[in-house]
Structure 1
Amino acid sequence: MSGPTTQGGAPAATGTDTPPGTAPGPQAAAVTAAPAGDRGRPTVFRNATVLTVDAARSVLHGHDVLVVGDRIAAVGTGLAVPDGTLEIDAAGGIVMPGMIDTHRHLWQTAMRGYGADWTLTQYFVWYYLEWGRIFRPEDIFAGNLLGAVEALDAGVTTTVDWSHGLRTTDHAEAAADALLSVPGRFVLAYGNIQAAPADWTASADFRAFVARRRDSAGDRLGLQLAFDVTGDPSFPEKPAFEAARALGLPVTTHAGVWGATGDDGIRLMHEHGFMTPQTVYVHGASLSADSYHRIAATGGSVSVSTESEQSAGQGYPPSWTLRSYGIPVSLSMDTSVWWSGDLFSAMRATLGADRSREHLEAHAVGETVTHAALRAEQVVEWATRGGARALGREADLGSVEVGKKADLVLLKNDHSPVSFPLLNPHGHVAFQAQRADVHTVLVDGRIVKRDGRLVGTDLAALRRTVEATVEHLRGELGEEAWQRGMNPDVPATKILDNPYTYTDYRSAGTHGG
């Protein structure tokens, strides 16, 4: 496959696992597939506590889970297995579905922790206004590669790469190449914060990219369109929705983000018929009842990034109010520029934020909460089956049931005193488990992590790839700007009301637009 004509002077991606502009070698081949000896070999987990996350949220004690090919072949006790089956002792551990993150900016992972003290406004300043344009295709590759490997390490078997740094299709090719070089399952949500959605979705290069990529990777790489709706009454994003409809691609959009996207955008989407059951609204944290009613009525879902909403300022984490409208929820971690890259933290934070709000609402009217409405089993479902539902994959992902894809996680850590006693398995996952407890991960029936170690991953080479990107970014900024960027000043612009440069619209809902 040949790459597209470049739009920005950078070398086009080649469609291989090599980042654009990099010669093949150990630095590029930072991730490989599972060892040949394990390919196609059946696997059985023995004597596990199984969190099925089925419709009944069943918990099965002392059960086996047999994987044959890419599917779950049987769940039961004392299962007979084919000759040559790899047997994994799961006694004292938990087998659960692979977790699904519905919103993660993987391209930013190479800047892990850089914005630890940022507000959302400072994030907008750094990426949208000042420095987002300096990322080369190989930098997108590096961030995606690191973030994708990190996700698998934490038991996140499916990740939506909300990739809004794709200034050219060369950048998009690099993003896709990185994802396909990692043996996980991904959705590339194509976006470009540096241009109007109507412009980049209309380009011939973008359409050609979609045609090349949408069916080339089986079901391991899906596609979405990722753009936001500012609320500008002229609805400049309408052509992008029309493009999504023509291409048959779902839209994922940051909605209910204070100072960026609000009720006006939801109303425009609804009035023009662009709110569908496949639409994923990210954050949904600062919306009115009217908007929540529109989301509920049209069957969409909300990706809640609790750590992000708590810290950055999109609004109070909305799971407590989404529950009251019956809006489906999935979980996401947003970006490692700030937060952890696992969904254990997301589950824990979501339970804390939801229950905190429930208590505060009760205290405000002189009442006391005596039974928590949001349960641990529910956030485990949001982290697994909820993500599958949001992506239209509930039929084959998100639960441990016969016939479904073998995307599975074993939590077991015999070296940790926190691994026992195992009394409330859902509560243990939500409040006790951590990345170090992820013992084994399967994606599509293939082992990608075993005995607490990633399989076929050259972390030293991955480190070199990421360090080259950090060196580039630091060199472009200069040392003074690099240090200042960890606490960037806010220029005198409209950014408090709208970070996008393709419209001057200011929302009357924040600063009196």
Structure 2
Amino acid sequence: MSTPDPAPAPRAEDFAGGRPIAFRNATVITVDSGGVLDNADVLVVGEKIEAVGHHLDVPGDTLEIDATGGILTPGFVDTHRHMWQTALRGYGGDWALTQYFVFYYLQWGQVFRPEDVYAGNLLSALESVDTGVTTTLDWSHGLRNPDYGEAALQAFREIPGRFVLGYGDYLGAPWEWSNSQEFRAFVTKNFNAPNDMLGLQLAFDVPGSAEFPEAGAFQAARDLGLRVTTHAGVWGATTDTGIVQMYDAGFMDEKVTYVHSSTLNEQSYQKIAATGGTVSVATESEQSAGQGYPSSWAIRHYGIPASLSMDTSVWWSADFFSAMRATLSADRSRDHLEAHARNETIVANRLRAEDVVRMATMGGAKALGMEDVIGSITPGKKADLLLIKNDESPAMTPILNPYAHVVYQAGTADVHTVVVNGKVVKYDGKRIGLPLAPIADKVAASVEYVRSQLGEERWFADMHPEIQPDEEIENPYKYTSGDAHVTAASED
């Protein structure tokens, strides 16, 4: 019997009609009990995953995507990104955390307008879906009033991704704004019905002041049925004192995500674990800005579930391949260093590539309370999918260890197809109906405005903070004349 001719490759315009979609012959990382399936198919009907298996029978009008040589994973989930800062992409690339605090919290945060939040969110949202991050929590702590919140939401309504607004205002008191009539009206207006495409959390920090006024914000979250995301274990900013206060007041539960959690003590980690909390690990941020050593190494000893995040594009991008790679490498580095300090040798790496792929998918879903909706390729879940495939990339062949391949070999240039809620938003490496130019124009106008508020001198000075030179250590060794070896200076 002759083999039927393969279905013709779909065109971008073919995806507009809402027809079923089948990925054929993929290496499927289910992040579920199915594990990894070789040469498998995934069928999407409507918003959901209909079936996963081999040689699936599909409806006659199905659009078929040849995934041969590719890896199909759940869409990535970023649980902590300050999306409004994306318009200043890379501006703070040489900052430490101190410069970040001074720039936004003390000097210039008040110059940003609702349209600047909108422009940053729009660019960040586009970048998310373009790189396979199908769900993003916007840790939006620059919302000075609900008009800013409306601007943030408008960006999400224009980009076909899945978003959660972490509403925050670092220039205000969270126990006040979370209980204000205008904020409650904002919640009622925009979140009066369940919607897994657009969610809401409260985003605020607990710096540990003796009065613990943040209790009012926690109570507001409970009154509204909202989850809380908070920066914890940040060197010099949020300490174990805040954890003690939250725990003693009964506000630590499974609905709280602790961002960074890099400098907490054993008791704080145990309290997070015992109350069902999750940690958002932002490895590139923690390595560079100085919150503390990336926390995956510490929290896995206590069994705390982890998700991954990219923090802010004022430093870093939305590249989740980089997030996975950095997390796995940092964890292993710490493991080796701790073993060496005991005069021992690590003979098998404890954290595996599979673990960080899970952090990037189901870990994020759990942190958002959406593990029954997204995070794995499971029939009945929403179809948030990422096909990693690039027939012209040497790094995409051969595929021997799919988990390790996703973490250490693939990159954003290999993002072939992105599906959000059953809708194909990127195919064959190209976004569908999502041009950059109109967004870039809005971002350029925002940058021009912010730059004018700073003035040219401050604009350049804040971008390039002065540093004190390190004191050089005198070298007692130097080359002797006439040969190539090194000798002690005292012998010269």
Please give the TM-score of this superposition, normalised by the length of structure 1.
0.87
Deviation at 1:124, TM superposition (A): 0.3
Partner of 1:135: 112
Q: Distance in 2 between matches of 1:216 and 1:454?
A: 30
Question: For residues 162-241 of structure 1, what are the structure 2 equivalents within 5 Å?
Answer: 162-215=139-192, 218-241=195-218
- Which secondary structure does the structure 2 equivalent of 1:187 belong to? strand
Q: Distance in 2 between matches of 1:55 and 1:264?
A: 40
Partner of 2:37: 60
Q: Pick from 16, 20, 24 the counterpart of residue 38 of structure 1.
A: 16
Aligned residue identity for 1:264: T
Q: Tell which has more relative contact order, 1 or 2 (C-alpha 8 A, sep 6+).
A: 1
Q: Does 1:51 align with 2:29?
A: yes
* Cα gap change, 1:145 to 1:216, in 2 (>3 Å): farther
Deviation at 1:39, TM superposition (A): 3.8
- Which secondary structure does the structure 2 equivalent of 1:118 belong to? coil
Q: Distance in 2 between matches of 1:55 and 1:337?
A: 38
Partner of 2:329: 352
Measured against aligned partners, the alpha-carbon deviations of 1:291-335 in whole angstroms (never above 9, x if no partner) come to: 001100100000000000000000000101111000000000000
Deviation at 1:259, TM superposition (A): 1.0
Deviation at 1:84, TM superposition (A): 1.5
Q: Distance in 2 between matches of 1:255 and 1:241?
A: 15
Q: Distance in 2 between matches of 1:461 and 1:140?
A: 16
Partner of 1:91: 68
User: What RMSD in Å do the two structures reach over aligned CA positions?
Assistant: 1.3
Q: Distance in 2 between matches of 1:485 and 1:455?
A: 38
Q: Pick from 234, 237, 240 the counterpart of residue 260 of structure 1.
A: 237
Measured against aligned partners, the alpha-carbon deviations of 1:264-291 in whole angstroms (never above 9, x if no partner) come to: 0000000001001010000000000010
Partner of 1:119: 96
CA contact (8 A) 2:15 2:424 kept: no
Q: Distance in 2 between matches of 1:37 and 1:318?
A: 41
Q: Distance in 2 between matches of 1:84 and 1:145?
A: 34
Q: Which runs of 5+ in 1 are unaligned?
A: 1-33, 491-513
Aligned residue identity for 1:120: L
Deviation at 1:487, TM superposition (A): 3.2
- Which secondary structure does the structure 2 equivalent of 1:383 belong to? helix
Q: Distance in 2 between matches of 1:393 and 1:141?
A: 26
Partner of 1:394: 371
Q: Which runs of 5+ in 2 are unaligned?
A: 1-11, 468-492
Measured against aligned partners, the alpha-carbon deviations of 1:436-488 in whole angstroms (never above 9, x if no partner) come to: 10000000100001110111112111110100000000111111111111134
Aligned residue identity for 1:386: G
Q: Does 1:297 align with 2:297?
A: no
Q: Does 1:443 align with 2:420?
A: yes
Partner of 2:5: none
Q: Distance in 2 between matches of 1:39 and 1:168?
A: 39
Question: For residues 420-435 of structure 1, what are the structure 2 equivalents within 5 Å?
Answer: 420-435=397-412
Bigger drift between 251-260 and 214-223 goes to 214-223
Deviation at 1:35, TM superposition (A): 5.7
Aligned residue identity for 1:73: E
Deviation at 1:215, TM superposition (A): 3.6
Larger radius of gyration: 2
Aligned residue identity for 1:41: R
Partner of 2:318: 341
Question: For residues 282-431 of structure 1, what are the structure 2 equivalents within 5 Å?
Answer: 282-431=259-408
CA contact (8 A) 1:122 1:489 kept: no
Deviation at 1:37, TM superposition (A): 5.2
Partner of 2:476: none
Q: Percent of aligned positions with the same letter in both sequences?
A: 62
- Which secondary structure does the structure 2 equivalent of 1:95 belong to? strand
Aligned residue identity for 1:417: P
Partner of 2:222: 245
